[in-house]
Copies of this chain bind each other. A is one copy, B any other.
Amino acid sequence: MAAAFVDTHRSTLERALETIRTREYWSPYPESPRAYGDEAPGAGEEAFKARLGQPFELDQPTTGMMDVGESSPYGVDLGISYPAGDVGALVDAAIAAMPAWADAGPDVRAGVCLEVLDRLSKRSFEMAHAVMQTTGQAFLMAFQAGGPHALDRGLEAVAYAYAEQTRLPSEMRWEKPQGKRDPLVIDKTWRIKPRGVAVTVGVSTFPTWNGYPGIFASLATGNPVIIKPHPGTILPFALFVEVAREVMEEAGFDGNLVVLAVDTPDAPITKDLVLHPAVGMVDYTGGPAFGTWLEENVTGALVFTEKAGVNSVVIDSAPDLKGVFRNLSVSMTMYSGQMCTTPQNVYIPRGGIAVGEEHADFDAVAAGLAGAIEGLLADDSRASDILGSLKGDAVVARIDEAAATGDVLLASRTVANPNFPDAVVRTPVIVKVDAADRDVYMREMFGPVIYVIATDSTEESLALAGETAREKGAITWLVYSTDDDVIDRAVDAAVDAGVSVAFNLVGGLFVNQSAAFSDFHVTGANPAGNASLTDPAFVANRFRVIGVRKPVQ
């Protein structure tokens, strides 16, 4: 079957290889739920519901099924148990699975990986419900970010892995002239040696979108992958593991190339796993504290982190503010600010800004933003579709904490989700603070917390955003300005702070969104993470090259 997978997916791989070069828009996995046919939505929902309250069996080394700490922000009772696994046994199984996969070569591995992506695509509705109910995302976001957009990111990683592994000639004859004597001649080939067992440490919010790049980069370069999901968001990765193992086995490989390693908050296994001497790579998405621990303590493996940070909006000037508020009101509220790309801090000069030929006071701009957000979320049903639900008590607690530290421009309110009465839904709190209140806003307040910060000037706004990025990390900046000099200075400041920057977004493109094949997610150049999804550096060191020299026969 492996050869058939290669043939089936060859044109998709070729297109992906071209697209990581052109950086143009492209996706083989439709983002519109309508594209999947009339049967798919119902079948996917049924498949999801059939999981509830059941053991999620996987044919991998296990000591039995275990109950976990997974829960739904929508209040749905999940009650799924998963295979418990001994760390040593899981690593041993992964090691045992490796040799045939390592020998299979880049073409076969890419074909098999693309078959996994294709089968996952066909289960996008089931995945959407799994992501929605474990992360608290609204359905459409869970569908797109958990399904097609995550698959795009996985495919992108396969393409990079393939490109990096095939940069060398498969064989060549080397000939060095020796003046009048015969040249030195030798035949050379190179063999790919995968680095070792990869561990993916999953995040609670976007497990597949953030997880697939590392998983597929490791698999496509010949490494087995152990997936340690966030203890509160397990089901999406369990589905992935089920599909991946099925494809691996059909292709004639050992299913233990992909294993699930579940734990609970009371008995975490991640440290044992990542410090195992056979582990060659760790991919992590999650909070900064543990990410930094990994960076500082896992010296026996490559560590790729996507942590988080404090993202900034700098408002300097605009032709008019309607589009600004419309765009920001969406980007700052979708999924209740629980995206690592959501802007948290909005810097506005206290003397106000130029709006077309007019002047707008600070208070007017701040009030306009607050009003746009209030209006967008006025209706509970619509608000629920935008906000999703809050994942974890800590997120909810931050709302009150934030409200106590400045002038509240817009209070948070509780929203009733019409379909899930137990869903935890809150609108964001918008707090006005002064540039001097660094301790308040120069920290990550993950969730529905927005600070509007009064500064002396756009110069100071950029300086504060830069300082925040260098100290706490940042993934996105959004700058509004009609002044080309300001824009140039903002680009320099963004490069200096290692943050991707967008300008004057007023339409349907939001700063939170990072497009596969085109945008690098996280720069790796500030504390928000040490790697990008996906660039050559994310892939090139997941395998090594062994030279073989033989005399000409």
Chain A contacts to B: CB under 8 angstroms:
21-25, 32, 164, 167-169, 172, 174-179, 181, 184, 186, 188, 190-191, 193, 195, 295-297, 299, 487, 491, 494-495, 498-509, 515, 518-520, 523-525, 532, 535-537, 540-541, 544-551
Residue of B nearest to A184 (CB): B509
Query: In the assembled complex, which residues on chain B have CB atoms less than 8 Å from the CB atom of A503?
Result: 548-551
Query: In the assembled complex, which residues on chain B have CB atoms less than 8 Å from the CB atom of A506?
Result: 551
A453 CB, min distance to chain B CBs, angstroms: 23
A547 in contact with B520 (CB, 8 Å): yes
B518 in contact with A544 (CB, 8 Å): no
Number of copies: 2
A491 in contact with B548 (CB, 8 Å): yes
Residue of B nearest to A177 (CB): B25
30 A-B pairs in the complex with CB atoms less than 8 angstroms apart:
A22-B169, A23-B168, A25-B175, A174-B518, A178-B508, A193-B525, A295-B299, A296-B299, A299-B299, A499-B546, A500-B549, A501-B549, A502-B548, A502-B550, A504-B550, A504-B551, A506-B551, A507-B551, A519-B549, A520-B545, A523-B545, A523-B547, A525-B544, A525-B546, A532-B545, A535-B545, A536-B540, A537-B540, A537-B541, A540-B540
Residue of B nearest to A292 (CB): B299
Q: Which of B167, B523, B548 contacts A544 (CB 8 A)?
A: B523
Query: In the assembled complex, which residues on chain B have CB atoms less than 8 Å from the CB atom of A523?
Result: 193, 544-547
Q: Which of B164, B175, B499 contacts A536 (CB 8 A)?
A: B164
A101 CB, min distance to chain B CBs, angstroms: 14
A194 CB, min distance to chain B CBs, angstroms: 9
B174 in contact with A548 (CB, 8 Å): no
Query: In the assembled complex, which residues on chain B have CB atoms less than 8 Å from the CB atom of A547?
Result: 500-501, 519-520, 523
A sample of 16 more A-B contacts (CB under 8 A), given A164-B536, A186-B509, A507-B551, is A23-B188, A32-B179, A184-B508, A190-B520, A191-B491, A487-B550, A491-B548, A499-B546, A500-B548, A504-B550, A504-B551, A506-B551, A519-B549, A523-B545, A524-B541, A536-B540
A139 CB, min distance to chain B CBs, angstroms: 19
A495 in contact with B546 (CB, 8 Å): yes
Closest 3 CB pairs of A and B: A525-B544, A537-B540, A537-B541
Q: Given A509-B184, A536-B540, are A176 and B25 neighbors across the interface (CB < 8 Å)? A: yes
B536 in contact with A167 (CB, 8 Å): yes
Query: In the assembled complex, which residues on chain B have CB atoms less than 8 Å from the CB atom of A535?
Result: 540, 545
A494 to B519, CA, bound (A): 39
A295 to B191, CA, bound (A): 25
Query: In the assembled complex, which residues on chain B have CB atoms less than 8 Å from the CB atom of A509?
Result: 184, 186
Query: In the assembled complex, which residues on chain B have CB atoms less than 8 Å from the CB atom of A532?
Result: 544-545
B299 in contact with A167 (CB, 8 Å): no
A193 to B492, CA, bound (A): 10
Query: In the assembled complex, which residues on chain B have CB atoms less than 8 Å from the CB atom of A172?
Result: 22-24
B548 in contact with A167 (CB, 8 Å): no
A226 to B193, CA, bound (A): 33
A23 to B508, CA, bound (A): 48
A25 in contact with B174 (CB, 8 Å): yes
A154 to B25, CA, bound (A): 37
A363 CB, min distance to chain B CBs, angstroms: 27
A321 CB, min distance to chain B CBs, angstroms: 16
A350 CB, min distance to chain B CBs, angstroms: 27
A178 to B32, CA, bound (A): 10
